[in-house]
Structure formats: C-alpha cells, structure tokens
Amino acid sequence: MKLLLVEDEPDLQEITVKRLRSDGYIVDACGDGVTALDFALAANYDGIILDIMLPQLDGLSVLRQLRTKGQTVPVLLLTARDSIEDRVKGLDAGADDYLIKPFSYAELSARIRALMRRQTTEIASEMLQYEDLVMDLSARTVKRDGKNIVLTQREFALLEVLLRNKEIVLTRDKIEQQIYDFGFEGGSNVIDVYIRYLRKKIDQDFKPKLIHTVRGTGYVLRTGD
C-alpha cells in the first residue's frame, strides 16, 4: 500500500510518516499543495492523506483538480475542528472521508484501513452491464436475463471489450489491440470466429440481439440496428 501524506506542519508530518512506515505502508510526504498535485498525478497511490490548510494551493483545490483529471484515488482530508464548512466542501469536492485535527494516530490508522477496505471491496465487485447482460469481473461469470452463460477465456475477454465500449463501433483492429494479451493470434479473421461463438451464447436464445455487425467496419454492442 502506497500512501501520500500532505501536511505542512513538519513535526506532525515527520511523526505520522514514521508511524505509517512502521505499520508497513510505503509513504511519500510533502508540505504544500503544488507539490502534492505533482506527486499525486505522477505516482499511483492507494490513498492520499490531505491537509486542507496548505501553502501555495489548499487541500480542497488539490482534491478538486485531482477529481477533474479523473483521479479516483481515495482521499482522507484533515480538517480543523471548527470548520464544518470545510468538511462539507471537502465531501462535495470528492473526499472519501475526513479526520478532525488534532487526531490520534490510532484514529488515523483506523480510517486508512477503512478506506483501503472500501476500495478493495469496490474493485472486487466490479460489474459490467448492458441491458440484461451482466458480467462479474471478479467472479468471471456472465449472465443474460438471469441465466448463467459459460464462456471460454477468449470469449470472456472479447465480451469484456464490447461491454466496456458499449454502443461504440469497434473496428477489428481496435478489438485486437485490446485483447492482444489474451492469446489471440492470427489476424482479424479470428475476431470474426469468436464473435460467432459469442453470438451463439449471448444472442441466439435471447431478445433483443446485442452484438451487431457494422458492415465494412467492425462490431458494436447495442440493442438495435
């Protein structure tokens, strides 16, 4: 677990880093908002502990910019005791939790664990859905209209690409690029073959048809022509 701690009080930063590291976290630390934003955008953190009152760029602005850039990393805000307004603003800006200063290390540690747990649960239950077709990425299962559909690894990979790009026409090349890692080989004809297999399992016994051929282009997952 890699964390970023953004805290401008040197003593608090030092002791917190020390204790987090002794708990087994990998920790980067900085003391201003501009550096925090640089760090957060450059590295892949599992969580950010972000003080609101910071020099150069305050924590709420850092958080807003991260969310604007599509960063979903869990953020725990550190706020002053009397600032309810900051807490509301923080949650509105996309914070996952907040902790009121001064706090005990035990409390911080518990909040971080909760944050990490929540994130793991979300990843573990990742679902892709289109109409009555549901793919569970962690259980590696597919259902249509509530019925289990057994797919091979390659069929599953191909369907995942279609689901992630639902209602977007994909060329065979584009599909190939995205499933390259799944052991497909030998030209775009292979895609056609697996599309045929998928159709048999996904569409043959169900309505409406979801896999459509776009002539001269490729394939698309959608409900109508």
Under the criterion CB under 5 A, does residue 86 sit at the interface with Ca ion? no
Q: Minimum CB separation from Ca ion for residue 86, in Å?
A: 12
* Pairing, β 218-221 against β 211-214: antiparallel
Q: Minimum CB separation from Ca ion for residue 120, in Å?
A: 29
Extract the tokens encoding 206: 């169900």
182-211 residues near Ca ion, rule: CB under 5 A:
none
Q: Minimum CB separation from Ca ion for residue 51, in Å?
A: 4
Under the criterion CB under 5 A, does residue 53 sit at the interface with Ca ion? yes
The alpha carbon torsion through 145, 147, 148, 150 (nearest 10 deg) reads -80
Whichever of 9 and 97 has its CB closer to Ca ion, that residue is 9
The only residue of 5, 50, 51, 133 in contact with Ca ion, by rule CB under 5 A: 51
Under the criterion CB under 5 A, does residue 80 sit at the interface with Ca ion? no
Under the criterion CB under 5 A, does residue 8 sit at the interface with Ca ion? yes
The residue with tokens 């859905």 is: 129
Say which DSSP state 182 is in: G
Are 108 and 48 within 8 A, CB to CB? no
Direct distance between the N- and C-terminal alpha carbons of the chain, in angstroms, rounded to an integer: 46
Q: Which stretch binds Ca ion (CB under 5 A): 44-52, 98-106, 127-135, 160-168?
A: 44-52
Q: Minimum CB separation from Ca ion for residue 180, in Å?
A: 47
Residue type, 110: A
Residues in CB range of 25: below 8 A, 6 or more apart: 1, 2, 3, 112
Under the criterion CB under 5 A, does residue 12 sit at the interface with Ca ion? no
Contacts to Ca ion by CB under 5 A: 8, 51, 53
